[in-house]
Amino acid sequence: MCGNEACGEGAILAGCTFYAGYPITPQNELTAYIAKRMLETGGVFIQAESELAAINMVFGASVAGARAMTSSSSPGISLKQEGISYLAACELPCVIVNMQRGGPGLGNIAPSQADYFQAVKGGGHGDYKLIVFAPSSAQELLEFTYLAFELADKYRNPTFILGDGLLGQMMEPVQIRYTNDDIRTTKKEWALTGCKGRKPNVIKSLLLGEGELERHNQKLQEKYSSIKKIEQRAEAFYIKDSDIVVTAYGSVARIARSAMKKARAKGIRVGMIRPITLWPFPDRLFKETADRTEKFLVVEMSAGQMVEDVKLAVGGRTDVEFYGRMGGAIPTEEEILEKIESII
Amino acid sequence: MKSRAKGKGKGKGKGKGKGHALTENNLIFAHPASLRDVENHYCAGCGHGIVHRLICEAVDEFGIREKTIGVAPVGCAVLAYDYWDFDVTEAAHGRTPAVATGIKRVRPDNIVFTYQGDGDLAAIGTAEIIHTANRGENITVIFVNNGVYGMTGGQMAPTTLAGQKTATTIYGRSLKRDGYPIKILEMLAVLPGAKYLERVAVNSAHEVLRAKRAIKNAFKMQIDNKGFSMVEVLSMCPTYWEMTSIQAAKRINDEVATFYPLGVIKSC
């Protein structure tokens, strides 16, 4: 199946019963797939009138206690930001998928990674964080989407899948290793179900009392700190035996890995770190690696966004170089290899 | 307000010679159980308090408090959850019907309603209200139209009448510059998904009774799974109309209801 479909199947396997979305390329296969699967599984699919409506329908579904999801691509994700801020503020779990395309503006429909900042720094108004996964294959789109639902419920926080048009549309074999019995559900006592046998529940982010909003922010930040401690994920290759560590995520990580192999075949000691969670950023691994290696090379389909987090993580202990392509252009193995050779 | 009626007065007042004791049979006016006995933040002469109460009376009379979920707007009624004693969520400005859609689709057995002002529903949330009605979502919308943005300081609303002075139309709304006031119910009436649309007012005891009847009809539509129902309530904003409460109530008859006709716009 294609990556978009794998993502949709991951959601269904995780017990997602509500999806609302709006058509946009390159994530349309996801909308179509999940529309069909919701019919088969008795879930709710709504083609909303806008991205704004879609994210707020997800807000409502989450308020009502359902596992809910929306997906879009870059311009549509910009439209959802207000709703995402509300979801984070109200501590409502849900999963949001961005199959990024070239920007800014209407841009094009080619793959891009230029929405990294938007995904990992919050995106909408206010101080908040989303747990952001960066899958690099159809298999991971399925598995990380599944995991994203679990973590969303566990932390009462929106989680985010940051893919791109290449991953979404690429066809790959996918293994399904879950059954419905695997679903770990959390009891949602905060959800609005009608106040039978309990005091009424209220879900809100408006906190006008003296110091109330600051206390709420402190509580959110404490939650984010604990997520940062527990949920950092990354994959590493040859980092104990490298002069230069290439860093890339998502689809670019696959190209970078091939470049790394070619470089090693040429006798250049190249390792690689592939962040799997972009927030929390796996900075512990970068810190440790910074003491062993000479240099980092960050490769992205952007003007340089994740490179800033790498620099923050290594704290000036090693040089951090960057190679990027923009506007939907994809870096090639040869380009990355050339860059490695030029900075070694 | 202190003598809140407790659900059931079982056994009380049965004894002979206690003809004046309050019982369920002779109780004709009480504080609705769903309306919290707290002070509200609304200005003197504002209609929101009345509409809150009518909703609570309807909820109590249908016995649906324990399955009602309200969606509060952004606007003067943003704190509605402080007054209603049932489950309530906030919604981003104008997205209220989208949030209600999400809740109702997940929990079709609950009674879900939105409470929206004219800025929320008729300006920033125009797309949401049209498409929610058009999908025929089985929810109830209570739309309070007072013709101004009260919360933000009395700016022009989409429903502000021609010539009406507001913070952003200091010489009065100019149809040429500011466009025309929107009759939302008449717009929605053409949609097959909209099943019950009525416009009422809360500027007199008589109109309040009619408003309550309309709100009950709208909730009944939802209870009977008949689809989208909406009641527009013409309400007073003495503060930003710069009038006394009495003048504001009179203005509803003299100016507002002459442009926004009262009555059932659609029922099917």
Domain ranges of chain B: 48-267
**Which pair of tokens denotes residue B205?**
């005891």
CATH class of A3-194+218-230: alpha beta
Does A79 lie at the interface with B, CB-CB under 8 angstroms? Answer: no
Distance of alpha carbon A55 from alpha carbon A81, whole angstroms:
9
| Helix H or strand E encompassing A74 | helix A74-89
Give B79-83's long-range contacts (Cβ < 8 A, gap of 24+).
Answer: B79/A206, B79/B41, B80/B52, B80/B115, B81/A202, B81/A204, B82/B36, B82/B38, B82/B40, B83/B35, B83/B36, B83/B38, B83/B40, B83/B52
Q: B102 and A63: CB-CB below 8 Å?
A: yes
Rounded to the nearest angstrom, the minimum Cα separation between B228 and chain A is 16
**Which pair of tokens denotes residue A171?**
């066809």
Q: B103 and A200: CB-CB below 8 Å?
A: no
Mean pLDDT to the nearest integer, B197-203? 98
Q: Which fold has domain A234-343?
A: Rossmann fold (3.40.50)
**Residues B74-109 as b or e (16 or more Cβ within 10 Å = b):** bbbbbbbbbbbbbbbbbbbbbbbbbbbbbbbbbbee
Does A226 lie at the interface with B, CB-CB under 8 angstroms? Answer: no
Residues 6+ apart with CB under 8 A from B65: A195, B33, B34, B59, B85, B86
Q: A192 and B99: CB-CB below 8 Å?
A: no
Average pLDDT over chain A, rounded to whole? 97
pLDDT above 60 (res B3): no
Pairing of strands A319-324, A295-300: parallel
CB contact at 8 A, A69 and B102: no
pLDDT above 80 (res B10): no
Q: B102 and A50: CB-CB below 8 Å?
A: no
Q: Chains A, B: CB contacts under 8 A, how many?
A: 132
A260-303 pLDDT per residue, tens: 999 999 999 999 999 999 999 999 999 999 999 999 999 999 99
* A44 interaction partners in chain B (CB closer than 8 Å): 105-106
Return the DSSP state at B81.
G
A309-338 pLDDT per residue, tens: 999 999 999 999 999 999 999 999 999 999
Distance of alpha carbon A277 from alpha carbon A135, whole angstroms:
9
Report how far Cα A309 is from the mean position of its chain's Cα atoms: 15
Residues 6+ apart with CB under 8 A from B137: B97, B100, B101, B104, B105, B193, B227, B228
pLDDT above 90 (res A246): yes
Distance of alpha carbon A248 from alpha carbon A306, whole angstroms:
9
Distance of alpha carbon A66 from alpha carbon A58, whole angstroms:
9
Q: Which CATH number does the domain B48-267 belong to among 2.60.40.10, 3.40.50.970, 3.10.350.10, 3.40.50.620? A: 3.40.50.970
Give residue B29's pLDDT: 83
Predicted confidence band of residue B9 (pLDDT cuts 50, 70, 90): very low
Distance of alpha carbon A180 from alpha carbon A52, whole angstroms:
31
pLDDT above 80 (res A220): yes
Bridge partners (DSSP) of residue B140 are B113, B229
B35-77 pLDDT per residue, tens: 999 999 999 999 999 999 999 999 999 999 999 999 999 999 9
Phi, psi dihedral angles at A295 (to 5 degrees): -155, 150
Q: B103 and A192: CB-CB below 8 Å?
A: yes
Pairing of strands B263-267, B140-145: unpaired
| Numbered ranges of CATH 3.40.50.920 in chain A | 234-343
pLDDT above 90 (res B16): no
Mean pLDDT to the nearest integer, A94-104? 98
Q: B101 and A83: CB-CB below 8 Å?
A: no
B contact set with A (CB within 8 A): 65-69, 71-72, 78-79, 81, 84-92, 95, 98-107, 110, 127-128, 130-131, 135
Pairing of strands B228-234, B140-145: parallel
Predicted confidence band of residue B13 (pLDDT cuts 50, 70, 90): very low
Residue among A46, A48, A56 whose CB faces B91 most closely: A56
Q: Please give the full DSSP string across A246-294, using - where no structure is assigned.
A: EE--HHHHHHHHHHHHHHHHTT--EEEEEESEEES--HHHHHHHHTT-S
Distance of alpha carbon A4 from alpha carbon A14, whole angstroms:
16
pLDDT above 70 (res B25): yes
Mean pLDDT to the nearest integer, B189-201? 98
* A201 interaction partners in chain B (CB closer than 8 Å): 87
B86-130 pLDDT per residue, tens: 999 999 999 999 999 999 999 999 999 999 999 999 999 999 999
Rounded to 10 degrees, the C-alpha dihedral A129/A134/A135/A140 comes to: -40
Rounded to the nearest angstrom, the minimum Cα separation between A13 and chain B is 18
* B105 interaction partners in chain A (CB closer than 8 Å): 18, 44, 46, 57, 60-61
B38, burial (CB in 10 Å: exposed 0-12, middle 13-18, buried 19+):
exposed
Q: Which of A242, A237, A234, A238 is nearest to A284 (CA)?
A: A234
Distance of alpha carbon A3 from alpha carbon A328, whole angstroms:
18
Pairing of strands A202-203, B87-90: parallel
CB contact at 8 A, B215 and B58: yes
Predicted confidence band of residue A178 (pLDDT cuts 50, 70, 90): confident
Give residue B19's pLDDT: 55
Mean pLDDT to the nearest integer, A234-240? 96
Does A196 lie at the interface with B, CB-CB under 8 angstroms? Answer: yes
Distance of alpha carbon A23 from alpha carbon B8, whole angstroms:
53
Instruction: Calculate the alpha carbon distances from B236 to A140, A267, B147, B263 in Å.
Output: 57, 81, 9, 18
A126-154 pLDDT per residue, tens: 999 999 999 999 999 999 999 999 999 99
Q: Residues in chain A, how many?
A: 344
Q: Which of B124, B144, B134 is nearest to B55 (CA)?
A: B144
The dihedral built from the CA positions of residue A187, A189, A193 and A195, taken in this order, carries a sign that is positive
> pTM here?
0.95
Mean pLDDT to the nearest integer, A81-100? 98
Angle between helices A283-290 and A306-314 (to 10 degrees): 60
Return the DSSP state at B66.
G
pLDDT above 70 (res B5): no
Question: In which region does residue B141 sit, left (phi positive, over 0), alpha (psi from -120 to 50) or beta (all else)?
Answer: beta
Report how far Cα A261 is from the mean position of its chain's Cα atoms: 26
Predicted confidence band of residue B1 (pLDDT cuts 50, 70, 90): very low
Distance of alpha carbon A47 from alpha carbon A24, whole angstroms:
12
Q: A195 and B90: CB-CB below 8 Å?
A: no
Distance of alpha carbon B167 from alpha carbon B52, whole angstroms:
27
Distance of alpha carbon B7 from alpha carbon A326, whole angstroms:
66
Does A194 lie at the interface with B, CB-CB under 8 angstroms? Answer: yes
| Numbered ranges of CATH 3.40.50.970 in chain A | 3-194+218-230
